[in-house]
Structure 1
Amino acid sequence: MLILAGLGNPGDRYAGNRHNFGWSAVDAIADRWRFGPERRRFQALAREGSIETPSGAVRALILKPQTFYNESGRSVGEALKFFKLQPADLVVFYDEIDLAPGRFRMKTGGGAAGNNGVRSIAAQVGPEFRRARLGTGHPGDKALVQGFVLSDFHKAEGDWVDALLRACAEAAPLLAAGEDEKYQTEVMRLAPAEKADPRGARD
């Protein structure tokens, strides 16, 4: 059993925000692999299904906490405890301002790097969970970060956003098989994005 949790904020006003990129990623995976309908569980919207791997199907639960981004750990911790899972059975998808737009990186463990959603989850389950980081770029000034992550993607960003979401979904068998490094490589092969300074010039 694998839990794929996406970070985001509930409510229509936040739906297109950069901070909801994690939600979009797990939705894309659930849709691609034809998971069941959403229902409310674990203070979240959840969908159950399975992802086919060369070794067979892996059961998975998509989780979109409804506790608001900074309190995501309450929902994720409840789900892990219910299924008696370990942090290694959890993958958290979230927006990463310290990666250039369209870049993607997998990581296990480490600090929160200022991300309060990640900090909340680590407080509940420990830091050794798997992290799928979706690059959004950085506004260039720390004082602008909150407004940036709570703003919508520009229309001009739509192509790379959609490509990255499709790639995350298409490559999911590698993630389900525990091949995080290969998953990262495949996502970037399917949705190539230039290595760049995340604090690059912006409109």
Structure 2
Amino acid sequence: MTNSPYLVVGLGNPGPTYDFTRHNVGFWAVADLADRYGSSFSLNTRQRAEVASVTLPGPEQVKLVLARPTTFMNDSGVAVKAIAAFHKIAPDHVIAVHDELDLDPGRLRVKLGGGDNGHNGLKSMRAHLGTGDFYRVRVGIGRPPGRQGAADYVLNKLKPAQADEMRVDAAVAADAVEFLVREGLTATQNRFNG
């Protein structure tokens, strides 16, 4: 891939009410990336997001702009469009990290483009970017048990053991982002898609 910057957006909902929910695994993944390289998030009210940036070590020194939108999930695209415009980042250099009901917990898939599969964060990104041709790092959370509705399932607080597992999944998603920007899509899919 090229050494122009990438925008890595963790999809989630702002505020402590949503901190330990399945829907916020994208927030956890971008926080993991920031922590790895000693960066911290700053609130950018104009871009409607908390933003950090890191430069990955290595010969190409790829810059990542990390973002956690401060809008709610269904308006994530507002922040993504503003940040991408400010940094002059094209949609093919945008990576969304998000929860995925259709993958079991512990599984991950990386892809370029595709539908939004009922995910309101992706739907908003597609609407505001004018295309769905951005990367997705899909973190499996599985389907709700029994008759529990999907909205309740993704927004319910995780038990401590579940949160620990989700933290591991978020770290693997962060690994996948790093690998993607360094090695490209096919190599990343071969290594991480399961």
Task: Identify the TM-score tier after normalising by the shorter chain.
Answer: 0.7 to 0.9
Residues 26 and 142 of structure 1: is their aligned pair in 2 closer, same or farther, counting only changes over 3 Å?
Answer: farther
State the alpha-carbon separation in 2 of the partners of residues 40 and 185 from structure 1.
Answer: 36
Residues 156 and 40 of structure 1: is their aligned pair in 2 closer, same or farther, counting only changes over 3 Å?
Answer: closer
Q: Which residue of 2 aligns with 1:200?
A: none
State the alpha-carbon separation in 2 of the partners of residues 3 and 39 from structure 1.
Answer: 15
State the alpha-carbon separation in 2 of the partners of residues 118 and 141 from structure 1.
Answer: 26
SS of equivalent residue, structure 1 residue 102: coil
Q: CA RMSD in A?
A: 2.0
Please, what TM-score do these two structures have when normalized by structure 2?
0.88
C-alpha deviation, 1:161, in angstroms: 2.0
SS of equivalent residue, structure 2 residue 149: helix
State the alpha-carbon separation in 1 of the partners of residues 178 and 24 from structure 2.
Answer: 23
Q: Identity over aligned residues, as a percent?
A: 32
User: In the TM superposition, what whole-angstrom CA distance separates every residue of 1:29-74 from its partner, at most 9, and x where no partner exists?
Assistant: 1111222x21122100001111124x42111111000011110000
Q: Which residue of 2 aligns with 1:50?
A: 55
- Is 1:123 the equivalent of 2:127? yes
Matches within 5 A, 1:45-124: 45-53=50-58, 55-124=59-128
- Is 1:40 the equivalent of 2:43? yes
Opposite residue 161 of structure 1, the aligned amino acid is: M
Please, what TM-score do these two structures have when normalized by structure 1?
0.84
Opposite residue 67 of structure 2, the aligned amino acid is: L
Opposite residue 87 of structure 1, the aligned amino acid is: P
Give the total of aligned pairs.
187
SS of equivalent residue, structure 1 residue 131: strand
SS of equivalent residue, structure 2 residue 61: strand
Give the gaps of 5 or more residues in structure 1.
Answer: 189-194, 196-203
Match of 2:35 among 9, 17, 31: 31
User: In the TM superposition, what whole-angstrom CA distance separates every residue of 1:95-146 from its partner, at most 9, and x where no partner exists?
Assistant: 0011001110011111111011100000111110000000000115686101
Opposite residue 139 of structure 2, the aligned amino acid is: L
Are 1:93 and 1:134, in contact at CA under 8 Å, matched by a contact in 2?
A: yes
